[in-house]
Structure 1
């Protein structure tokens, strides 16, 4: 029941900032108190969610340790989870190492890519590498160029991991950071919007 929850009990479960928000929401809530059956079901569901969160952490920890052994350069550039996803999508580390950067850039966006081939419109600028903070944390007009730079360095990292197994992660990361800084400096402002006539000319040029 709502009366069983106060600042002390909620603070045991949540961070201070979240606890205060929950308490504030409780004070504004007009809903009725839960009966024992409803509360029991909700507690059971919450328990399952916590178990899934624990399992997710275990899997992420396993992936991190495995990637550090099998693909340390890729893990350092893309992150262990995204790196593992790229290996899976490519069909293995060898396939990823042999893939061109342009393919790596759109891995995971195959449906959008096939639609572009069919219609000539809406070419995807990135696939799952959008999950990388360098890409999704950048303004929209920079994402395509940053995704291209990231895909290039991922390609290099995968090649090093598969063919030479040297640790060149610091070198590759530094080169990536320099390229991203260059993009952000050169394209700091959004491009001017195209007129309908300019858009029509651009579409015609693609045909």
Structure 2
């Protein structure tokens, strides 16, 4: 009997040691994966900075032929594609000759206006072509590093992936240079991550930045549009408000993922909870907008001119408290005392003592 008990005790101790060893191995694997992820994210940021530097050199060289090209876009991919599509052909060049491109509409419109002042071909086009080929190599290297980040992001930042999605999390982390850099960034600057300023000759500036392409923001906007809560005059204001709230949640989830060391299956619960809270918040606003729309549509013309609708409080409005009779009379006495002339020998302190020592008429 004693042998069986000792065997079970030994088996239990061996199992516990195995579990502790597995947890320790998982924690070590997590820390190693985080370090590898940080190195890859820093490499993506460095590669992108080199790509931007080559783009500036190419645009500066091509400015001699097409003045104003550098003010069209600051995105290196768009700038290099425009220069490669134009090439060193002699003017005039129609924008329809360039074919269908995946450029934004404002870039296409600005390029159509700039092509009117296209100059003669460049003499050092071979150097520009070499820079374009070098930029393509950097672009391929950046794509390979992004694929590595895509494979590791769910293990490194589960809460951020649960909040915004896997692809958007990789994009934001690559723009910042890692999870630690994103956690140090203030939430009010998250809307500037991945911003591509586009300067157009006319019209308002569009919303730019990686956060405005978030799947969560698009899901919220789709729900508000279905409820009729997004209008043409409040669309930009509402989108910016949603983006601010999503940026606050992204900053919080990045700090949680950075300092969280657990290796259990519960990783990512806070991100899923924040995702559900943001959706519930804007569903409430959609219901409030639907209430206003229904009330406006049910309004009928008045039968008589002297009839006016009664103000009915909305369910989400806080009801204002009413003042009592004694409170109203005290206010009236205070107003009358303020308007009455004060004797010369009486000061403000004497008046306050007199009011405090007096007995209220209603309480007498």
TM-score (norm 2): 0.30
* Larger CA Rg, structure 1 vs 2: 2
TM-score if structure 1 supplies the norm length? 0.49
Higher helix share: 1
